Structure 1
């Protein structure tokens, strides 16, 4: 898991975790854009917060449960492209590379607004 002593959020933005993705994990605030939701979901993987991942997953594609590997060590997030996904859109995509000890995951994720809140729909793995 991510060491809580780090000064910046694991999502890569230069703010402390509590002021960045932590506010979405623990409070009533919702990510205002698809990219911020993507970043907060990455942080949830880093922290092992399956509850947040499930809460921010589209009800039509959300699994019944999610088991995260506690040995997985995520080491960085790089946002490669964002299409739509702002306050003015109902859908958006975020293409990213998430690094972990021993490799990386490259995905184009699709997001949609449900009852005004951004949720993760699904994604395509890229090479």
Structure 2
């Protein structure tokens, strides 16, 4: 079953050396609007991607943990393959919103439109 979904994509940027950066001693991203509500995501990395996207674009989007669970085939979220989740999202050119690809908590068939 191939579902057409409205996916939000994130731009992949180069990593910068921040060792000489004048950074604050602490920062609460909740006050900056870069964190979604608490949810169960295991080690699927989606919360980190939501935060990165919000910081980059100013839009806080609740992305789909279920899509990563269903479509990233190297293991499940309990295995902690965060880099594999990132790689899959890059290869897929984005990730669906949680509204478009709802969380069930069980691994199922991948419904991502490639």
Which category describes the TM-score, using the shorter chain as reference length? Answer: under 0.3
Scaled by the length of structure 2, the TM-score of the pair is 0.24
TM norm structure 1: 0.23
- Larger proportion of strand: 1
Radius of gyration: which is bigger? 2
Structure number with the bigger relative contact order (C-alpha 8 A, sep ≥ 6) is: 2
Larger helix percent: 2
